[in-house]
Amino acid sequence: MTTSNYYLPFHRKRIKQNMKEKLNCWEYNKCGREQGGPKAGELGICPAATYNNTDGVNGGTNGGRICWSIVGTLGSGSQRRQAPWFLLSCIACDFFQLVRKEEGDTYALVRRR
């Protein structure tokens, strides 16, 4: 065996240990507004769960990790956010802070066109 044969399994193990599943907002907040979710019929499907222009941003599915930049999502309450200034309330959100911490300096605050 060469040195690289010893290195690769160890390296893969380290990567696997350091990787953590990244939650989307509907998983973290358990709002039930994802497609097929328990509250999707009552409250409607959340735009963050279906907005595929942001798929992959901050490592999320559709808009699941950039929900604060998508109009029509719910904040911590039940009132729909309809204007760009709702972002101010999102900055205090626990999920926003989690994404910011997990992504570090590379997190996206707003979606890019």
| Residue 43 DSSP SS3 | helix
- Confidence (pLDDT) at 16: 37
Query: Between the CA of residue 58 and those of 19, 26, 54, 108, what are the distances in Å?
Result: 14, 15, 9, 6
Per-residue tokens: 96: 């926003």
- Confidence (pLDDT) at 18: 39
Residue for token pair 């040195």 = 3
Q: Is the pTM of this model over 0.75?
A: no
pLDDT at 69 over 60: yes
CA proximity to 112, closest of 63, 72, 45: 63
Distance CA 4, CA 11 (A): 10
pLDDT at 107 over 60: yes
pLDDT tens string 3-61:
434 333 333 333 333 346 899 999 999 999 999 999 999 989 999 999 999 999 999 99
pLDDT at 72 over 70: yes
